[in-house]
């Protein structure tokens, strides 16, 4: 292990120990505040969903000059608002930094966190949080100047690497340095955008983050073609919504809204045809999902057309992906693991049965 990686890992281990203590306090705070078991009721009484998102990440959540939030995560927030309240605009976006996102959720300042957050054992077990599902399968990589002339991150001897503090990204980088006995210098930044600005200004040679985030950051650079995503993928990053633990009713609702968007793509239900599809399809499972028969919505504490309304809000999973992240968007990402299971990907919903 290099001296740099040893010191970096020591710092991260101390950070993780502190985080464990803080998370425990958050979980106790949730219980003491009486928030458990009441999330859907609180949303209905308030009349809008409080959705925690990134402070500004291209393709995922970014507020335009017109004040409108756009992106994959923002569209998921609208789908949830439509499913819970019947209106896609019944949502208040709460921008959060990496450091404050879990505290905001634990304290009840948001109802759901949809902020490129990885599902890990440590976050899921004993911290007061639940992950209803995976909305995007990602992996950590590296963005470098094309003229650096390296074919792999393992060739980055002596490089300075911008990385976000207090994240699994930083821990993964420490593992990568140690496992490959590399001489890399981590340059710690608070946000992805801060990392991009530092990289652009020459404050670091390379930047590491989830590949989807790096694609968004590259799209905002003055000459995106002058920067390349290296082929190394050093982690699995299943990104998805996060909710407070202990509210099983809200957990079920959050889980099946996400599944409905994924299943809608498989069935061919789109934002444009959802209502006509529900009225005319002979697909029994799609009819149950869309509320044309059965009582699935009521059993979740939602309207019978919760799934139909979620799809009408901004489209099925594939439509949301294509608009914000796909090959026709500024990010230009292929579906990959996020393709439907019928197309070689990992995306499929459990049966609506």
Say which CATH number the domain at 8 has: 3.40.190.10
Using alpha carbons, select from 118, 333, 132 the residue that is nearest to residue 244: 132
Residues 58 and 33 in one domain: yes
DSSP 256-325: HHHHHHHHHHHHT--TTTHHHHHHH---HHHHHHHTSSSSHHHHTTS-TTHHHHHHHHH--HHHHHHHHT
Asked if residue 349 is part of any domain, the answer here is no
Q: Which residues constitute the domain of residue 228?
A: 3-15+140-235
Q: What is the pLDDT of residue 260?
A: 98
Question: Number of folded domains in the chain?
Answer: 3
Q: Which of 235, 258, 293 is the last residue of a domain?
A: 235
Using alpha carbons, select from 57, 107, 48 the residue that is nearest to residue 81: 48
Residues 262 and 318 in one domain: yes
Within its chain, how far is the Cα of 24 from the centroid? 23
Asked if residue 8 is part of any domain, the answer here is yes
User: pTM surpassing 0.75?
Assistant: yes
* Long-range contacts of the stretch 152-156 (C-beta < 8 A, 24+): 152/230, 152/231, 152/232, 153/206, 153/208, 153/230, 153/232, 153/234, 154/180, 154/182, 154/232, 156/182, 156/184, 156/205, 156/206
* Angstrom distance (rounded) from CA 345 to CA 262: 12
Asked if residue 80 is part of any domain, the answer here is yes
pLDDT in tens, the chain (353 residues): 454 444 455 555 544 444 444 444 444 444 434 444 589 999 999 999 999 999 988 999 999 999 999 999 999 999 999 999 999 999 999 999 988 999 999 999 999 999 989 999 999 998 899 999 999 999 999 999 999 999 999 999 899 999 998 788 999 999 999 999 999 999 999 888 889 999 999 999 999 999 998 998 898 899 999 999 999 999 999 999 999 999 999 999 999 999 999 999 999 999 999 999 999 999 999 999 999 999 999 999 999 999 999 999 999 999 999 999 999 999 999 999 999 999 999 999 999 99
Q: Which of 82, 103, 137 is the last residue of a domain?
A: 137
Residues 9 and 21 in one domain: no
Asked if residue 9 is part of any domain, the answer here is yes
Sorted by sequence, the CB contacts under 8 Å of residue 275 that are 6+ apart come out as 308, 312
């Amino acid at each position: 292990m290099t001296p740099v990686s040893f010191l970096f890992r020591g710092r991260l281990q101390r950070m993780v120990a502190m985080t464990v203590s803080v998370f425990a306090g958050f979980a106790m705070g949730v219980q003491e505040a009486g928030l458990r078991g009441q999330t859907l009721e609180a949303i209905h009484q308030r009349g809008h969903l409080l959705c925690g998102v990134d402070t500004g990440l291209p393709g995922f959540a970014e507020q335009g000059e017109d004040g409108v939030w756009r992106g994959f995560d923002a569209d998921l927030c609208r789908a949830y608002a439509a499913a819970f309240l019947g209106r896609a605009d019944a949502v208040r976006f709460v921008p959060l930094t990496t450091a404050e996102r879990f505290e905001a959720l634990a304290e009840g300042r948001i109802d759901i966190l949809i902020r490129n957050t990885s599902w890990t054992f440590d976050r899921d077990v004993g911290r007061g949080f639940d992950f209803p599902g995976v909305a995007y399968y990602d992996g950590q990589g590296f963005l470098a100047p094309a003229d650096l002339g390296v074919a792999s991150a393992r060739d980055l001897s002596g490089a300075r690497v911008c990385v976000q503090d207090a994240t699994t990204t930083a821990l993964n980088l420490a593992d990568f340095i140690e496992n490959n006995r590399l001489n890399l210098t981590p340059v710690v930044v608070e946000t992805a955008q801060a990392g991009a600005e530092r990289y652009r200004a020459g404050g670091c040679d390379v930047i590491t983050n989830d590949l989807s985030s790096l694609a968004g950051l590259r799209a905002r650079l003055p000459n995106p073609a002058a920067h390349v995503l290296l082929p190394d993928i050093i982690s699995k990053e299943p990104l998805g919504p996060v909710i407070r633990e202990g509210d099983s009713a809200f957990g079920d609702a959050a889980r099946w809204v996400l599944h409905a968007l994924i299943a809608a793509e498989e069935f061919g239900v789109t934002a444009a045809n959802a209502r006509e599809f529900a009225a005319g399809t002979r697909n029994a499972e799609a009819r149950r999902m869309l509320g044309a028969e059965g009582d699935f919505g009521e059993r979740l504490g939602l309207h019978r057309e919760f799934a139909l309304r979620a799809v009408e809000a901004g489209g099925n999973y594939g439509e949301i992906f294509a608009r914000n992240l796909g090959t026709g968007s500024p990010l230009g990402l292929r579906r990959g693991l996020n393709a439907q299971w019928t197309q070689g990907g990992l995306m499929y919903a459990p049966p609506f049965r």
